[in-house]
Structure 1
Amino acid sequence: MPSSEGGGDRGSVTAEAATVLPVLALFTMALVWALMATAAHIQCVDAARAGARAVARSEPRAQAVAAARSAAPDGARVAVDRTGDLWRVRVEAPSPGPGPLRLTLRAEAAALAEDTVGVTP
C-alpha cells in the first residue's frame, strides 16, 4: 500500500530534469565551440609557421602566402613583412560560431632570412 507521505515529491524529478537538460545542452554547445575555436587557432599557428619557413627559404612572397593560406582556416588574412634579418608572417582568421561568439584569432611566426646566415656585419 503506497504511503501518503512523500507524495509531494512525485513531479520534482521531472521539474529538475526540465531545468537541468537545457543547461547541459548549452554547456555542451559551449564546449564544442571552444574546441572548434582552439582547433582554428592551432591552424593559424601552423599557417604562420609554414609561411615563415617558406619565406625564410627565399621562396617568393606569393608562394609563402599560398603556403600559409593552404594551412589556415577559411577566411584567413595573411601578411608577410621583413624587419631586419627576420621575416614575420601574421595570420588572422575569424573563429567559428554565431555572431556574438566570433573572435579574431591571431598567430605570428618569425624566421631568420637565409640570405643573412653567415654574413658578418
Structure 2
Amino acid sequence: MTIATHPSDAGRRPERGAVTAELAIGLPVVVLLLVAVLTIAAASGAQLRALDAARAGARAVAIGQDAATVRAVVDHVGGAGSDLRLEHDGEWVVVEVSRPVAGGWFTRLPLRATGKATAWVEP
C-alpha cells in the first residue's frame, strides 16, 4: 500500500519542529529584554524621585525647618521607604535620600536609588 503525498509537503517534513525550537529560544530572550527595560525605567524614575526629595529636604533645612518637617518633606516627595541622612558642614548642609527602586514584586530586590543635594543654611 502506498500513501500519496502532495508535492508541496516534500520540503516541509524536516523543518517541522524548527518553529517550536525558535520560539523556545526566542521567547525567553524577549522576556529577559522586557524585564531589563522595565527595571531600567523603574530605576530612572526612582533616581529622579530620590534626587527631588534630597533637593526639597535641603531647601527645607536651608530655610530653618526642624527635623520632623524635613522628614515629612522627604517622605512626601520621595515616597514611602525613603531613608534620610543629614550632614551639617558649617554653613552648609548635605541631604542624602535613598529609596527603593520600585514597589510590588521589585521590593524584594536590593535595588535602591540615591539622591544627594547640598544647600547653604541661611542665618
TM range (shorter): 0.7 to 0.9
Query: Pairwise mapping of residues 107-118 of structure 1 onto structure 2 (< 5 A)?
Result: 107-115=115-123
Aligned match of 1:78: 84
Pairwise CA RMSD: 1.8
Q: How many pairs were matched up? A: 114
Query: Pairwise mapping of residues 92-107 of structure 1 onto structure 2 (< 5 A)?
Result: 92-96=98-102, 97=106, 99=108, 101-107=109-115
TM-score (normalised: structure 1): 0.82
CA deviation after TM superposition for structure 1 residue 17, in Å = 1.3
Residues 34-92 of structure 1, C-alpha deviation per residue, up to 9 Å, x if partnerless? 21122111110000000001111122222122111111132111122321111111111
Check the 8 A contact 2:57/2:73 in 1, yes or no: yes
TM-score (normalised: structure 2): 0.81
Take 2:116 and 2:28, find their aligned partners in 1: how far apart are those partners?
A: 39
- SS of corresponding position for 1:58: coil
Aligned match of 2:3: none
Please tell me whether Structure 1 or Structure 2 has the larger radius of gyration of its CA atoms.
2
Say whether 1:36 aligns with 2:42: yes
Gaps in structure 1 of 5+ consecutive residues: 116-121
Gaps in structure 2 of 5+ consecutive residues: 1-6
Check the 8 A contact 1:55/1:64 in 2, yes or no: yes
Q: Determine what percentage of the aligned residue pairs are the same residue.
A: 32
